[in-house]
Structure 1
Amino acid sequence: MADDNRSDTSWSGTWFTCEFAQRQRAPDDGCAMFDDEGFRFSDGRFTYVRITESDETACRGAKAGQCFRRDRPAISITTADRGRLDLGADRIKVRYLFCTQTFYFRDMPDYREIWPDDKRCIWASKRRFYIARYEGDITEP
């Protein structure tokens, strides 16, 4: 896992999934609304993040508080470690529950698309992830 300590900042920061993306379809709003769940890719670790204290009501399925606007100036989050991370030039590898899953990615104008290799760990699905970096201020406990 030699790529763990690259100086590349293309994965720095906190990323959230696009609220109006579907399992195999990109968001139709340019990822203007984020889901309440996201990720960090840093220090050789893959970290799950979740926003707290959202009162947004324009979420999918009218589920208040389960999304937030991408341009929101500040958020609070909780985090949980999800495994070892290896960042490559055209892929990422996540080791979790005794299995290493390879994901590929490509940048689009408003988001980054991520999809799993055909050889999948039991915990990985065929789902594609559409994510974008959050640019506001973040508070953690």
Structure 2
Amino acid sequence: MPDTQHLNAEIRDMLMDCGLFDTLQPSDFVTAAGYFSLTAVNEGQILFSEGDAGTFMCILHRGVVSVRKTDGNGTEVEIATLRKGRAFGEMAVLDGERRSATCVAASDCQLLTLGKDSLEKMLADAPRIAARIIRALAVALSRRLRMQDGQRLAQQI
């Protein structure tokens, strides 16, 4: 059992460190950690592909992830580079739609993953904590959308 406790403590520390969940109480991180998994991926590994069903989301703890979309000509184009603390894959988990982009490990990475089924279980078992996590993800998505809107406007001027 100590190995599970050690892993949960490590995941708790990573969740606290990522900066996404500032509204959670210290004890909330302990509970939330039980629903997340730790995953190591090698450089070049495809984490998921555009059009896949969204069964999990990730928080990047270490490494770099390349986000790519297929353009009108069928060419894959890098649209973003993600670094430590960034959540990704959450849109498909939250809205049930297919993946909007392909994510590839641009270096060896360490990820916290939250499966859609684990999120559903957290909603049933610890709804207050799950709601805070979902709200934090929604706020992060909203910020990204506002930034994109600002960038698009700046390009038009």
**TM superposition score normalised by structure 1:** 0.26
Higher Cα radius of gyration: 2
Hey, which of these two has a bigger chunk of strand by percent?
1
Tell me which protein shows more helix as a share of its residues: 2
The higher-RCO structure (CA 8 Å, 6+ apart) is 2
- TM-score norm. by structure 2 comes to 0.24
